[in-house]
Structure 1
Amino acid sequence: MTPLIFVTGGVVSSLGKGIAAASLAAILEARGLRVTMMKLDPYINVDPGTMSPFQHGEVYVTDDGAETDLDLGHYERYLRTRLSRKNSITTGRIYENVIRKERRGDYLGGTVQVIPHITDEIKRCIVEATEGFDVALVEVGGTVGDIESLPFLEAIRQLRTERGPEHALFMHLTLVPFIAAAGELKTKPTQHSVKELRSIGIQPDVLLCRSEQPLPDSDRRKIALFTNVPEKAVISAVDLDNIYKLPQWFHEQGLDAIVLDRLRIQAGPAELSEWNEVVDATEHPVDEVSIAVVGKYIDHQDAYKSLSEALKHGGLRQRTKVKLKWLESSEIERDGVESLKGVDGILVPGGFGDRGFEGKVATANYAREQKIPYFGICYGMQAAVVDYARHVAGLDNANSTENDKNSPHPVIGLITEWRTATGEVERRSENSDLGGTMRLGLQDQRIKPGTLARELYGKDVVGERHRHRYEFNNRYRTQLEDAGLVISAKSMDDLLVEMVELPRSEHPWYLACQAHPEFLSTPRDGHPLFIGFVRAAREAKAGGKLLREVAG
């Protein structure tokens, strides 16, 4: 029976439950425990895969191809544990499971109700995702008081009752706002939030109090008194300038010791040296580079959360501060590439749809012609291929069929459009299922010897996570290779192009990949492609001096 730590939130949303929970998980892992995490999301969507990036933010993809909430990205960046679709459950998924069982007759004609059928399914999913670990943290999305969250809260209340207090713990994150006019922190919102939680049968064991400044002892005592939580278990979750400081901050307040004692878990001392090194590298950089990120959802940067973190991680491995210049690709279309001048590197990330695509193509063209380090990811690779086809290979009006189904040179397309029995291009109909050819999850690829990709990875076969529909059209492989484009990685069956690059003799660092390597980057390890890209940006800034020094 895996001990469970349930993490809930109150007062307002966006307090950082995911990062707070992941920070505690990182400390527990640093004490030698096998830790996993899980997210319970109250929205009725089955998963975030079809949700707007502007509204929901990033869709995070796991090894097994699950499209999940961005909090799973936080979890994997703080932990060594790889997560799966079991670790992300929505109301939509729960109801889908229950309705499927009802249609099969599993309930023997009984009336299907929220209690016990929905709550039983939630409990089953929690047990399935957490079994086999020393401890598991389960985050409940939303805020206490939301109607949508009630079935999840009822389910975790039942689990606590069934397992007993030594096998389940409630940790509640609340807001302690600072009122400038009064010049003091106010504890009343926290008191009301706990009151709301207790009204549905849940008494928190630990409170994490989010505030702009450390919580004074007097306020801790006051909160403890009115919430029936031990004073030592009222933890200050102060705003920090670096989220990777949180594990050490919580450890210094004894949060991990409180949790372990409450759950009667034996563990070794916390070994946080790796996290201290991450913080030290962040706060004491020896260099700085400017990277332009040209995307489609710049007004909502959570859509690129893993990407921005991966760029920072790439800098951490060489004590380099990465300053991001966010640019909207549609503005590049309208105003030209002037805004790209002066940056040390350019990254074009993924996306869907034709809006802003020509801006991405123009960006790839500018980076190629001006010899600026370029890193294309997913749609950024497709933009690079389209640019090369048009302006180097002489394929006028080359495009992706996602944007122009009548292009005379569809260098990017659905597999069903170019891989047919007769070898002829089969145009996608207007009514085809857009998700029918989505490639998701971890897939191996073979890297070509002597390429930049092979140099960066240091091995012949690597696995990366994917999330896309459209592929490099194999009918144009030979033509583009003859024009000088290097296909540096392909799928293990040799069918799909995974990476392209330019020869080092023509460009100092120009690489694009179809996968999403940002999903496998962590602050402690980084990722070879991001480390190499940041190093190339440093080289560009140094005017060639850096690599000469390294080589010498």
Structure 2
Amino acid sequence: MAPARSATPLVFVTGGVVSSLGKGIAAASLAAILEARGLRVTMMKLDPYLNVDPGTMSPFQHGEVYVTDDGAETDLDLGHYERFVNTRLSGLNSITTGKIYESVIRKERRGDYLGGTVQVIPHVTDEIKRCIDAATEGFDVALVEIGGTVGDIESLPFLEAIRQLRTERGPDMAMFMHLTLIPFIAAAGELKTKPTQHSVKELRSIGIQPDVLLCRSEQPLPDGERRKIALFTNVPERAVISAIDLDNIHKIPRWLHGQQLDQLVVDQLRLGDKVKEADLSEWDAVVDAAEHPIDEVTIAVVGKYVDHKDAYKSVGEALKHGGIRQRTRVNLKWLESQDIEREGADKVLAGVDGILVPGGFGDRGFEGKVLTAQFARETKVPYFGICYGMQAAVVDVARNIAGLEGANSTENDKQSPNPVIGLITEWRTQSGDIERRDEHSDLGGSMRLGLQEQRVKPGTLAHRMYGKDVVGERHRHRYEFNNRYRTQLEQAGLVISAKSMDDLLVEMVELPQGEHPWFLACQAHPEFLSTPRGGHPLFVGFIRAARERKAGGKLLSEAAA
């Protein structure tokens, strides 16, 4: 029986030929256009790996772990989604094979299947469909991206589930958009459509006929190739969309709208009574600001995964957003923190206008981050520390100003005589006495995740940036500022500019504004709340400080900022 129209219409986004074609960006761009047409849009990612979530996966292999308000550790594509649409996502919007099987096995152990044999069909596919319904309920339209490529064995349960949903709901409630590659063979001087034909053939062999083809290529798709693809794939010619390489991802909504991709979706899913003309003026303004800068700065990002920049995807994007808000081109100089240990901060960091030290885990390269914070402090270069970058700044002040010999984080030195950073269980008990953690205890038990409010101290740089007393930021970390050292470090000149609402945890630190033009570090991850249209006050302020340094310390007017 066909579902009631109250169910949310779905657009399933699949990929073929090769991975990393940009399904996430393409889906997010389409969602942005639909949102610009007045629709309430949500997005979802189905990842075929067996990990429950990417929280324990190597950044070298998987890129950054993106954290939502509810503390879910998710795929970095959810970061793309939230930067392109205004909907706040949650753990419901990120589903993995691991989560699905975990839920199915839990139900089987409880006896929910009444002793029946548990199978991929219907039990696993039913669980996938249940998760899709839970994440998309209440919206005008939802885009659901399936990770990997057609033909991957691990993706088959997801593909079977969405095939069933299309059959159950009908073509006006669920549609398929397939992203594929049209390679350009330079020796022949031709675009080749055969990989796309085979990709669609593979998709059709499992019962899915795409409604729209998004053809990724280096150059626009000629009409002849478009007709050829339409003929061999049984897709209408108007639904064969050219997705060329663009120099700015924020141009993609306008490019896809120009080919009426959004209208194809509106027509097939019968959304016409809910939509208006697309207002892409905000995206046009973002592109215009990026393409017509009035200034530029060079920002050093000092981390340990710089050879794999997806590990800092949101940081890089947030820095660019901070520049867009003031028509400034932000040139990112990715630096390995171990190089600073080997070659010295003076040499590696010479000539930059600002320094950002992002989050991370483990002792590799940590001393280079401490040296980076010290260099920024002593040379008055604007410094922005995030998570581990804040902890590095605290260690620098503890060692080099407060005179706390051997100051460190217990993450790196469990025997440190001055553990200024540690797990809460190491320095706080009911009585307030220090408590050393058992070497074999579960570190995951102390992970702080998700959106949490903090109180910002009036008169501080942080308060000037935010312009408010209470702010909310997303967290992902285990180690905290050790409260036993608050007084000593404040006496040494460190300003504690934000604390948790219960006054227990230090959330932000900075240097006195008279001693340093812009030195701020936070325990949270503000990059997760930055968008190209709105920016984030800390990133905007940091880029402005970098511009002022480049201008020889001259304060910029509000108009120029």
Q: Does 2:67 align with 1:58?
A: no
In structure 2, C-alpha distance between the alignment counterparts of 1:506 and 1:550, rounded to whole Å: 26
Q: Give 2:504's aligned residue.
A: 495
Q: Give 1:73's aligned residue.
A: 79
Q: 1:272 aligns with which of 270, 277, 280?
A: 280
Q: Does 2:183 align with 1:177?
A: yes
**1:95 CA drift (Å):** 0.0
In structure 2, C-alpha distance between the alignment counterparts of 1:65 and 1:230, rounded to whole Å: 42
SS at match of 1:547: coil
Q: Does 2:91 align with 1:91?
A: no
Could you tell me which runs of 5 or more consecutive residues in structure 2 were left unpaired when the two chains were aligned.
Answer: 1-6
Q: Give 1:288's aligned residue.
A: 296
Q: 2:391 aligns with which of 367, 382, 385?
A: 382
In structure 2, C-alpha distance between the alignment counterparts of 1:193 and 1:280, rounded to whole Å: 37
Q: Give 1:146's aligned residue.
A: 152
In structure 2, C-alpha distance between the alignment counterparts of 1:544 and 1:350, rounded to whole Å: 28
| CA spacing shift, 1:549–1:205, aligned 2, 3 Å | closer
Comparing 260-269 with 359-368, greater Cα deviation is found at 260-269
Q: 2:418 aligns with which of 409, 412, 417?
A: 409
In structure 2, C-alpha distance between the alignment counterparts of 1:242 and 1:335, rounded to whole Å: 35
Q: Give 1:251's aligned residue.
A: 257
Q: Give 1:396's aligned residue.
A: 405
Q: 2:126 aligns with which of 116, 120, 142?
A: 120
**1:482 CA drift (Å):** 1.1
In structure 1, C-alpha distance between the alignment counterparts of 2:431 and 2:529, rounded to whole Å: 38
Q: Give 1:300's aligned residue.
A: 308
Q: Does 2:348 align with 1:331?
A: no
**1:330 CA drift (Å):** 1.2
CA RMSD between the two structures:
1.1
SS at match of 2:415: coil
What are the superposed Cα offsets for residues 264-290 of structure 1, whole Å, 9 maximum, x if unpaired?
112110000000000000111000000
**1:421 CA drift (Å):** 3.0
Q: Give the residue type in structure 2 aligned to 1:61.
A: V
**1:550 CA drift (Å):** 7.0
**1:545 CA drift (Å):** 2.0
In structure 1, C-alpha distance between the alignment counterparts of 2:560 and 2:143, rounded to whole Å: 46
Q: Does 2:132 align with 1:132?
A: no
In structure 2, C-alpha distance between the alignment counterparts of 1:42 and 1:307, rounded to whole Å: 26
Q: Give 1:239's aligned residue.
A: 245
Conservation of the 8 A alpha-carbon contact between 1:294 and 1:326: yes
Q: Does 2:117 align with 1:111?
A: yes
Q: Does 2:471 align with 1:449?
A: no
In structure 2, C-alpha distance between the alignment counterparts of 1:171 and 1:352, rounded to whole Å: 38
Q: Does 2:210 align with 1:201?
A: no
In structure 2, C-alpha distance between the alignment counterparts of 1:205 and 1:262, rounded to whole Å: 9
Normalising by structure 2, we get a TM-score of 0.98
What are the superposed Cα offsets for residues 187-245 of structure 1, whole Å, 9 maximum, x if unpaired?
00000000000000000000000000000000000000000000000000000000000
SS at match of 1:193: helix
SS at match of 1:435: helix
**1:415 CA drift (Å):** 0.2
What are the superposed Cα offsets for residues 337-376 of structure 1, whole Å, 9 maximum, x if unpaired?
1110100000000000000000000000000000000000
**1:549 CA drift (Å):** 8.6
Q: Give 1:507's aligned residue.
A: 516
Q: Give 2:547's aligned residue.
A: 538
Q: 2:43 aligns with which of 37, 42, 64?
A: 37
**1:428 CA drift (Å):** 1.8
**1:430 CA drift (Å):** 1.7
**1:551 CA drift (Å):** 11
In structure 1, C-alpha distance between the alignment counterparts of 2:207 and 2:166, rounded to whole Å: 10
Conservation of the 8 A alpha-carbon contact between 2:27 and 2:145: yes
Normalising by structure 1, we get a TM-score of 0.99
What are the superposed Cα offsets for residues 108-140 of structure 1, whole Å, 9 maximum, x if unpaired?
000000000000000000000001000000000
In structure 1, C-alpha distance between the alignment counterparts of 2:229 and 2:533, rounded to whole Å: 36
In structure 1, C-alpha distance between the alignment counterparts of 2:10 and 2:180, rounded to whole Å: 20
Q: Does 2:489 align with 1:480?
A: yes
Q: Give 2:367's aligned residue.
A: 358
Q: Does 2:328 align with 1:317?
A: no
What are the superposed Cα offsets for residues 523-548 of structure 1, whole Å, 9 maximum, x if unpaired?
00000000000000000000122437
In structure 2, C-alpha distance between the alignment counterparts of 1:444 and 1:438, rounded to whole Å: 16
What are the superposed Cα offsets for residues 24-70 of structure 1, whole Å, 9 maximum, x if unpaired?
00000000000000000000000000000000001000000000000
Q: Give 2:473's aligned residue.
A: 464
Conservation of the 8 A alpha-carbon contact between 1:405 and 1:428: no
Q: Does 2:431 align with 1:431?
A: no
SS at match of 1:251: helix
**1:420 CA drift (Å):** 1.4
In structure 2, C-alpha distance between the alignment counterparts of 1:495 and 1:17, rounded to whole Å: 42
Q: How many residues align structurally? A: 552
SS at match of 1:362: helix
| CA spacing shift, 1:550–1:484, aligned 2, 3 Å | farther
SS at match of 1:307: helix
What are the superposed Cα offsets for residues 453-475 of structure 1, whole Å, 9 maximum, x if unpaired?
00000000000000000000000
Q: Give the residue type in structure 2 aligned to 1:544.
A: G
Q: 1:421 aligns with which of 403, 425, 430?
A: 430
Q: Give the residue type in structure 2 aligned to 1:419.
A: R
Comparing 436-445 with 334-343, greater Cα deviation is found at 334-343
Percent identity of paired positions between Structure 1 and Structure 2: 83
Q: Give 2:4's aligned residue.
A: none
**1:434 CA drift (Å):** 1.4
In structure 1, C-alpha distance between the alignment counterparts of 2:430 and 2:466, rounded to whole Å: 36
Conservation of the 8 A alpha-carbon contact between 1:399 and 1:410: yes
What are the superposed Cα offsets for residues 144-173 of structure 1, whole Å, 9 maximum, x if unpaired?
000000000000000000001110000000
In structure 1, C-alpha distance between the alignment counterparts of 2:72 and 2:290, rounded to whole Å: 31
Could you tell me which runs of 5 or more consecutive residues in structure 1 were left unpaired when the two chains were aligned.
Answer: none
In structure 1, C-alpha distance between the alignment counterparts of 2:364 and 2:455, rounded to whole Å: 32
Comparing 233-242 with 424-433, greater Cα deviation is found at 424-433
In structure 1, C-alpha distance between the alignment counterparts of 2:394 and 2:34, rounded to whole Å: 45
What are the superposed Cα offsets for residues 355-411 of structure 1, whole Å, 9 maximum, x if unpaired?
000000000000000000000000000000000000011101100000001111100
